[in-house]
C-alpha cells in the first residue's frame, strides 16, 4: 500500500473511531496507516545519510526522505529511549495523528522496529523560521506583511492546540526553529505533543541539556517547573519580538542593554520609542501593526502568569478592531535570562491521564549565575 493511501486509511480509521482504540500490533494487522516499515524509510532517506540530514534537535536527527510515489517526508529519529512501552507510544502517536490544523506540521505516522523509534512528518521545503529571520540575506524575503501573516498563523495554530484540539496540548518548546514554513511561507508549528512520548524520563536528562541562553522559557517554568498554557504564551511573546525585530532573543554581540531582547523592548516601550525595535532591514512596514505586535509581545511576557493573555484573547486582539489591548507592566525578565544549562522545554513533564496533573519531572539543572534551582511542580493541563 502506498503511503498516501496508508495515511488516508489511517485517518479514516481514527476519524471513525471516536475514542482511541488500544494499540494494535505493529505487524500491520489493524493499523496499516500508522506504521512505516524501517526498510522503506531507510530507502527513502538513503540509509539516513548525512546528506539527507536536515538538522539535529533535542530528540535526535531529522532526515529528508523521498517515497516511491514522489512524496517528500521528514523523518525524526528519536535517539532517546522512552520508558513508554510499545502500546503507550502507539497510542500517543494515534492521538497526535488526530491533531490536525493548517498551521501545524502534519504527522504522517511512525516507525517502531527493535530499538528504533521514528516519527514521520510532511516535509516543509523552507525549513524553519529561524533560518530566515536571523539570516541577513534570507530575511529580506520576510517583508512586514509576511511577518504579520506568520504571527497570525502561529496564533491560530496555538489557539487550536490549547483550546480546540481533541486533547489540550501545551507545546512547551515554542521557538523560531519549531516554526516551519511551507512553500508560500505559511507557518506551521512543529514538534507539538512530543513530550507525551517521553513521560517522566529523568535518566536521559543529559541528552537534552543545552548550553547557552534559552530566553524563550517562562520564568515560572524555568525555575519551578510550573507548566500551563501560559508557558507557551510567554515563549510566543518572545518569538513575536524576534519576528518584529529580526534578531535573536539573546545576542551577546550587541552592547549592554540591547543584548537581551525582552529587557530592551521593555525599555524602549517605557520611553515610548518601541518602533526603534523594528528590523532596520524592513524598508516599509505598518507602524500601527508593528506597535501592536510589540505591545502584544510584552503582554505575553508578563512576569505574572495571570496577566498574560490566553490564545483566545490574543487571537481577538489581532483580529478585532474593537478589542483593545491592555498596557503591559514589567515583563518577566528575571529567571529566564543568563548563562545556564537547561533542558529543552518539552521533556520534563508527565501528565497523569486520570487527574490531568502535569508534573515537571526530573532535576533539570538550571544554573543561573551559579545557582541551581528547578524542581518539581504541577499544574492542571486539562480543560
| Closest separation in Å from C-beta 1 to ligand ATP | 22
**Which of Mg ion, ligand ATP, none binds 105 (CB below 5-8 Å, type-dependent)?**
ligand ATP
Nearer to ligand ATP, 180 or 197 (CB): 180
| Closest separation in Å from C-beta 28 to ligand ATP | 24
Task: State which of residues 36, 189, 191, 346 lies at the interface with Mg ion (CB under 5 A).
Answer: 191
**Which of ligand ATP, Mg ion, none binds 121 (CB below 5-8 Å, type-dependent)?**
ligand ATP
By beta carbon distance, the residue nearest ligand ATP is 57
Residue 37 sits at the vertex; the CA angle it makes with 31 and 43, to the nearest 5 degrees, is 150
| Closest separation in Å from C-beta 123 to Mg ion | 14
| Closest separation in Å from C-beta 128 to Mg ion | 7
Nearer to ligand ATP, 290 or 347 (CB): 347
Should residue 178 be labelled a site residue for Mg ion when binding is judged by CB under 5 A? Answer: yes
| Closest separation in Å from C-beta 116 to Mg ion | 19
Nearer to Mg ion, 78 or 298 (CB): 78
Should residue 263 be labelled a site residue for Mg ion when binding is judged by CB under 5 A? Answer: no
135, 173, 201, 271: the active-site residue: 173
**Which of Mg ion, ligand ATP, none binds 173 (CB below 5-8 Å, type-dependent)?**
ligand ATP
Nearer to ligand ATP, 172 or 315 (CB): 172
Which contiguous run of DSSP H or E holds residue 316?
A: helix 311-319
Please, which residues bridge with residue 117 across strands? 112
The 3-state DSSP class for residue 210 equals strand
How many other CB atoms are there within 10 angstroms of residue 253's CB atom?
8
The Cα 235–Cα 216 span in angstroms is 5
Nearest to 52 by CA among 70, 66, 71, 36: 66
How many other CB atoms are there within 10 angstroms of residue 139's CB atom?
18
For residue 313, give every residue at least 6 positions away whose Cβ sits within 8 Å of its Cβ, in sequence order, or none.
323
Nearer to Mg ion, 54 or 376 (CB): 54
Nearest to 250 by CA among 286, 216, 201: 216
Annotation marks residue 173 as catalytic:
yes
Should residue 92 be labelled a site residue for Mg ion when binding is judged by CB under 5 A? Answer: no
Cα 152 to Cα 20, 34, 282, 303, 330, distances in angstroms: 31, 31, 19, 23, 24
Nearer to ligand ATP, 74 or 337 (CB): 74
**Which of Mg ion, ligand ATP, none binds 128 (CB below 5-8 Å, type-dependent)?**
ligand ATP
Nearer to ligand ATP, 57 or 157 (CB): 57
Should residue 57 be labelled a site residue for Mg ion when binding is judged by CB under 5 A? Answer: yes
The Cα 110–Cα 196 span in angstroms is 14
**Which of ligand ATP, Mg ion, none binds 127 (CB below 5-8 Å, type-dependent)?**
ligand ATP
Cα 90 vs. chain centroid, distance in angstroms? 21
Using DSSP bridges, classify how beta strands 72-77 and 107-113 pair: parallel, antiparallel or unpaired. Answer: unpaired
| Closest separation in Å from C-beta 75 to ligand ATP | 9
Residue 128 buriedness (CB in 10 A; 0-12 / 13-18 / 19+) = buried
Which residue stretch of 111-119, 136-144, 188-196, 268-276 sits at the interface with Mg ion (rule: CB under 5 A)? 188-196
Residues that bind ligand ATP (CB under 6 A): 54-59, 62, 74, 105, 121, 123-124, 127-128, 173, 177-178, 180, 190-191, 344
Sign for the CA dihedral angle at 178, 173, 147, 279 comes to negative
**Which of Mg ion, ligand ATP, none binds 59 (CB below 5-8 Å, type-dependent)?**
ligand ATP
CA dihedral 210, 301, 358, 209 (to 10 degrees): 0
| Closest separation in Å from C-beta 178 to ligand ATP | 5
Query: What is the DSSP secondary-structure string of 332-352?
Result: --TTT-SSEEE--TTSSEEE-
The Cα 368–Cα 341 span in angstroms is 8
**Which of Mg ion, ligand ATP, none binds 14 (CB below 5-8 Å, type-dependent)?**
none
Binding site for Mg ion (CB under 5 A): 57, 178, 191
- Catalytic machinery residues: 173
Amino acid at each position: 500500500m502506498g503511503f498516501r493511501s496508508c495515511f488516508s486509511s489511517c485517518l479514516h480509521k481514527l476519524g471513525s473511531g471516536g475514542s482511541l482504540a488500544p494499540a494494535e500490533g505493529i505487524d500491520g494487522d489493524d493499523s496499516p496507516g500508522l506504521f512505516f516499515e524501517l526498510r522503506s524509510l531507510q530507502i527513502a532517506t538513503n540509509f539516513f545519510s548525512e546528506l539527507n540530514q536536515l538538522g539535529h534537535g533535542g530528540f535526535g536527527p531529522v532526515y529528508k526522505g523521498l517515497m516511491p510515489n514522489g512524496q517528500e517526508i521528514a523523518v525524526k529519529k528519536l535517539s532517546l529511549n522512552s520508558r513508554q512501552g510499545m502500546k503507550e507510544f502507539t497510542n500517543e502517536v494515534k492521538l497526535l495523528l488526530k491533531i490536525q490544523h493548517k498551521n501545524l506540521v502534519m504527522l504522517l505516522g511512525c516507525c517502531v522496529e527493535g530499538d528504533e523509534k521514528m516519527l514521520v512528518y510532511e516535509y516543509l521545503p523552507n525549513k524553519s523560521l529561524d533560518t530566515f529571520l536571523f539570516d541577513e540575506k534570507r530575511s529580506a524575503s520576510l517583508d512586514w506583511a509576511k511577518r504579520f501573516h506568520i504571527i497570525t498563523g502561529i496564533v491560530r495554530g496555538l489557539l487550536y492546540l490549547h483550546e480546540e484540539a481533541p486533547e489540550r496540548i501545551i507545546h512547551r518548546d515554542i521557538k523560531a526553529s519549531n516554526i516551519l514554513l511551507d512553500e508560500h511561507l505559511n507557518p506551521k508549528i512543529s514538534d507539538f505533543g512530543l513530550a507525551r512520548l517521553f513521560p517522566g524520563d529523568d535518566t536521559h536528562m543529559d541528552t537534552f541539556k543545552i548550553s547557552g541562553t534559552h530566553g524563550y522559557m517562562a520564568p515560572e517554568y524555568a525555575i519551578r517547573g510550573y507548566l500551563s498554557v501560559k508557558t507557551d504564551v510567554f515563549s510566543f511573546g518572545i518569538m513575536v519580538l524576534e519576528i518584529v525585530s529580526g534578531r535573536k532573543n539573546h545576542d551577546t554581540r550587541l552592547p549592554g542593554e540591547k543584548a537581551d531582547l525582552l529587557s530592551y523592548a521593555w525599555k524602549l516601550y517605557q520611553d515610548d520609542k518601541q518602533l526603534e525595535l523594528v528590523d532596520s532591514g524592513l524598508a516599509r512596514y505598518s507602524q500601527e501593526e508593528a506597535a501592536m505586535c510589540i505591545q502584544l509581545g510584552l503582554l505575553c511576557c508578563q512576569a505574572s502568569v495571570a496577566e498574560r493573555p490566553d490564545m483566545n484573547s490574543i487571537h481577538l486582539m489581532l483580529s478585532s478592531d474593537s478589542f483593545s489591548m491592555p498596557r503591559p507592566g514589567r515583563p518577566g525578565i528575571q529567571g529566564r535570562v543568563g548563562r545556564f544549562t537547561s533542558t529543552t522545554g518539552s521533556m520534563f513533564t508527565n501528565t497523569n491521564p486520570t487527574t490531568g496533573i502535569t508534573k515537571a519531572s526530573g532535576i533539570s539543572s538550571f544554573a543561573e549565575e551559579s545557582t541551581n534551582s528547578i524542581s518539581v511542580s504541577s499544574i492542571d493541563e486539562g480543560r
